[in-house]
Structure 1
């Protein structure tokens, strides 16, 4: 018995000796105990609030300290997770059973990398666990986290469902972690995945057959199932990181790049594990003021504890496999100097580059594209850009803008002849308001103004760049009557015309000279930037009314037209001008002179339709519709 005990102690000491170099840091500085959450391994005090940042002494939320108590040296193989108080205490105790040292980064802890004055600098730890953060990381903190992984650290990320904002600062854990990936100052999406803004609750056994996978079949056992309780999914981007791998998927999903529940990757010399729900890490004990649930051992038949610890052990295991960290950007796309604002017509593109390296840069390639279509590029050499100096370049081809819309200008630089420099990209977004305008081609009715009721109609063309749905038309006799009409549901496309007839009529009660003006404008609130149009026409009404006095004096024959000859008869009058036009206002035939009436007019070949004939005499003008 004594020999067996001695052998057990020796084996245990040998195991712990190899594992004691592994230290795991659990973050508690990003409101992990806010609201109904308690994502810490141990908390001795419950005396704080998060609104949105930490306030001590005014609340009952968990205030996790650096070292868990009792001391982890008292943990044995049979120690229960209730040894510590926190929803992640099972995780912490399981790490201690592996011989790992565990600590908490408290609410006032500093996230840094390479800061020797910070006792909890990330360089002092093997694994950094971030479980459902609720405060954005600062620029310096994001850089530190990426550098930690680049240089061999293990990062375990746990997100929760969309709108899981527990400290009311407008950001939830998927948004906060995605911001870490997108805006870290080193590389966009370095790990090759983003958390989706969704909420899902599957009990899923949708797991690919990967018999040698370290997380699915690791030291803690096989993983066959997971259970999400309002969690999210993960989208993979192998083009950003070729090592990213999904190992658990939502029910019914193919083993591709979407609907992933658990994923991991390598980056630089380090590794990253990501899961889309915090519930699997919850051991059901902790802050008594929170509603906690046992997802560690109860949900999914105990698979969660195996999954998380397999992932933790994989992160702690050092191996020679890794992807080199990306080099720092040596040639920066510093700024887009022109255009400052995008205008219709030609726009010059001018950029400013800066050499951030410690050596001169002689040659490079520059490019720009507009809305993902490459417009110009140039190979430049003999530049000799000294370290720290800038270089300005104007592209020979300008941007030609014909219409309004949203535009994205992208500029980038390559250094194909210098393997030591890297590429940089800069984007700038512009918006040009669409041109909205209408043109009144002609006033079709009244052809002649007469006493009594007169119909009103006009031909209009959409001269803008977007479809017009609603137009307001105002008919006004200057100094007299005004008639307003609204037309909706038009769907009048650009460069097309329409004839709009008013429902109302214009009443003329007395003889005289009149000027009728038609004004077209936009109906709704989208009238800002809309170009309206006005067209006026003069009329003379005699005491008996034109239609009655001249109706028997003005004749055209045949009407409808047969062939190409038309007889025009204005009795006792000479003709000085004849003009035939389409209803759009386009003149197709005109003749001036001094002709006796009746006059035989030879017309060009006409298409079937309605035309407007205008006859000018010394007495005035006469109008008639001609059918073909």
Structure 2
């Protein structure tokens, strides 16, 4: 054999032998998979800053480090959702129109995952009569006093996904530490090859519980579910009851916030694992 060819073959053999054996066992996210964070429903209203260049910047950066493409959308339609693997909706303050809901459901039928993140009742940050449980579930019949049929059902989570964010929560609810109710689900268990990404607890810093008609309850506290999952069409759904769980201490204005919950408990692992599961990488 020619010496050059021999050395090239030896180099290839060494490379193959030193490749991590985990690479063939663990699904690897691809850069072609797009994670969208919605910013069309005033998710940064008032003292909220649920933006990938703000209080969710650590989350966005950690997803990019896994190989995902992370973007913000400021409108919801078939064009903005095209090709997305996951849509994250963090504490929306404005209702979804029927056309927007239909675009989301259509994308989910095609395989897109949906991460719904709510907060407690009476968390109306832009003073329009809507809070996030109502935006996800649909109009509660009280405030605002009049809603047209275009917005009345909003995302309709309690009927479309059989997951309802409780209307009984309050801004005076205590802080809870949610713990697993199901230890075998991939979001809780994490990768099958390591325990460093599992979820043992997560903070509910005054949030709302989830009523599960169909699906699985994964985490809870005080006898209530705070993390639930289900499927819709070819897509997957995650519902979590608190927006501040994944917040870091940076703001999109350049300032700093009061809390850095990203580093607490298993909050960061929960955020990453939920997206990986929704993207079918876990």
Q: TM-score normalised by the shorter chain: which range applies?
A: 0.7 to 0.9
SS class of match (1:222) = coil
Please report how far the alpha carbon of residue 318 of structure 1 lies from its aligned counterpart in structure 2 after TM superposition. Answer: 6.5
Partner of 1:391: none
SS class of match (2:35) = strand
1:160/1:231 contact within 8 Å kept: yes
Give the Cα–Cα distance (whole angstroms) in 2 for the partners of residues 17 and 230 of structure 1.
34
Give the Cα–Cα distance (whole angstroms) in 1 for the partners of residues 219 and 236 of structure 2.
18
Give the Cα–Cα distance (whole angstroms) in 2 for the partners of residues 8 and 104 of structure 1.
41
Does residue 309 (structure 1) correspond to residue 263 (structure 2)? The answer is no
User: For 2:249, which of 284, 289, 292 is the aligned residue?
Assistant: 284
Map 1:159-198 to 2 at 5 A.
159-179=118-138, 183=153, 189-197=159-167, 198=169
Please report how far the alpha carbon of residue 295 of structure 1 lies from its aligned counterpart in structure 2 after TM superposition. Answer: 1.0
Taking structure 1 as reference, are residues 168 and 307 closer, same or farther at Cα in structure 2, changes over 3 Å only? Answer: same
1:37/1:290 contact within 8 Å kept: no
Does residue 204 (structure 1) correspond to residue 177 (structure 2)? The answer is yes
Please report how far the alpha carbon of residue 203 of structure 1 lies from its aligned counterpart in structure 2 after TM superposition. Answer: 2.9
Partner of 2:36: 25
Please report how far the alpha carbon of residue 110 of structure 1 lies from its aligned counterpart in structure 2 after TM superposition. Answer: 2.6
2:250/2:257 contact within 8 Å kept: no
Give the Cα–Cα distance (whole angstroms) in 2 for the partners of residues 309 and 275 of structure 1.
13
Give the Cα–Cα distance (whole angstroms) in 2 for the partners of residues 104 and 8 of structure 1.
41
1:143/1:184 contact within 8 Å kept: no
Partner of 2:4: none
User: For 2:231, which of 263, 266, 269 is the aligned residue?
Assistant: 266
Taking structure 1 as reference, are residues 285 and 245 closer, same or farther at Cα in structure 2, changes over 3 Å only? Answer: same
Cα shift readout 1:530-557 (whole Å, capped 9, x = no counterpart): xxxxxxxxxxxxxxxxxxxxxxxxxxxx
Cα shift readout 1:329-380 (whole Å, capped 9, x = no counterpart): xxxxxxxxxxxxxxxxxxxxxxxxxxxxxxxxxxxxxxxxxxxxxxxxxxxx
2:157/2:163 contact within 8 Å kept: no
Does residue 158 (structure 1) correspond to residue 113 (structure 2)? The answer is no
Partner of 1:246: 217
SS class of match (2:262) = coil
Please report how far the alpha carbon of residue 38 of structure 1 lies from its aligned counterpart in structure 2 after TM superposition. Answer: 0.8
Cα shift readout 1:371-394 (whole Å, capped 9, x = no counterpart): xxxxxxxxxxxxxxxxxxxxxxxx
Partner of 2:207: 231
Give the Cα–Cα distance (whole angstroms) in 2 for the partners of residues 223 and 187 of structure 1.
25
1:132/1:173 contact within 8 Å kept: yes
Taking structure 1 as reference, are residues 104 and 7 closer, same or farther at Cα in structure 2, changes over 3 Å only? Answer: farther
2:56/2:248 contact within 8 Å kept: yes
Does residue 218 (structure 1) correspond to residue 186 (structure 2)? The answer is no
Taking structure 1 as reference, are residues 10 and 124 closer, same or farther at Cα in structure 2, changes over 3 Å only? Answer: farther
Give the Cα–Cα distance (whole angstroms) in 2 for the partners of residues 249 and 196 of structure 1.
14
Question: Which one has more relative contact order, counting CA pairs under 8 Å at least 6 apart?
Answer: 2
Tell me which protein shows more helix as a share of its residues.
2
TM-score normalised by L of structure 2 = 0.78
Partner of 1:127: 86
User: 4+ runs of 1 displaced by more than 4 Å?
Assistant: 5-18, 184-188
Please report how far the alpha carbon of residue 288 of structure 1 lies from its aligned counterpart in structure 2 after TM superposition. Answer: 4.6
Please report how far the alpha carbon of residue 143 of structure 1 lies from its aligned counterpart in structure 2 after TM superposition. Answer: 1.0
1:280/1:296 contact within 8 Å kept: yes
Cα shift readout 1:570-614 (whole Å, capped 9, x = no counterpart): xxxxxxxxxxxxxxxxxxxxxxxxxxxxxxxxxxxxxxxxxxxxx
Map 1:536-555 to 2 at 5 A.
none
Give the Cα–Cα distance (whole angstroms) in 2 for the partners of residues 207 and 182 of structure 1.
34
Give the Cα–Cα distance (whole angstroms) in 1 for the partners of residues 179 and 36 of structure 2.
31
SS class of match (1:164) = coil
Partner of 1:88: 56
Give the Cα–Cα distance (whole angstroms) in 2 for the partners of residues 8 and 27 of structure 1.
43
1:146/1:184 contact within 8 Å kept: no
Tell me which protein shows more strand as a share of its residues.
1
Please report how far the alpha carbon of residue 93 of structure 1 lies from its aligned counterpart in structure 2 after TM superposition. Answer: 0.8
Cα shift readout 1:27-73 (whole Å, capped 9, x = no counterpart): 1111111111110111xxxxxxxxxxxxxxxxxxxxxxxxxxxxxxx
Structure 2 unmatched runs, 5+: 1-10, 140-150
Does residue 37 (structure 1) correspond to residue 48 (structure 2)? The answer is yes
Please report how far the alpha carbon of residue 190 of structure 1 lies from its aligned counterpart in structure 2 after TM superposition. Answer: 1.7
1:36/1:290 contact within 8 Å kept: no
Give the Cα–Cα distance (whole angstroms) in 2 for the partners of residues 28 and 172 of structure 1.
15
Map 1:446-525 to 2 at 5 A.
none
Please report how far the alpha carbon of residue 296 of structure 1 lies from its aligned counterpart in structure 2 after TM superposition. Answer: 1.1
State the number of aligned residues: 250
Q: Kindly report the root-mean-square deviation, in angstroms, between the aligned alpha carbons of the 2 structures.
A: 3.2
SS class of match (2:105) = helix
1:32/1:132 contact within 8 Å kept: yes
Give the Cα–Cα distance (whole angstroms) in 1 for the partners of residues 91 and 18 of structure 2.
38
Give the Cα–Cα distance (whole angstroms) in 1 for the partners of residues 123 and 165 of structure 2.
13
Taking structure 1 as reference, are residues 225 and 8 closer, same or farther at Cα in structure 2, changes over 3 Å only? Answer: farther
2:137/2:154 contact within 8 Å kept: no
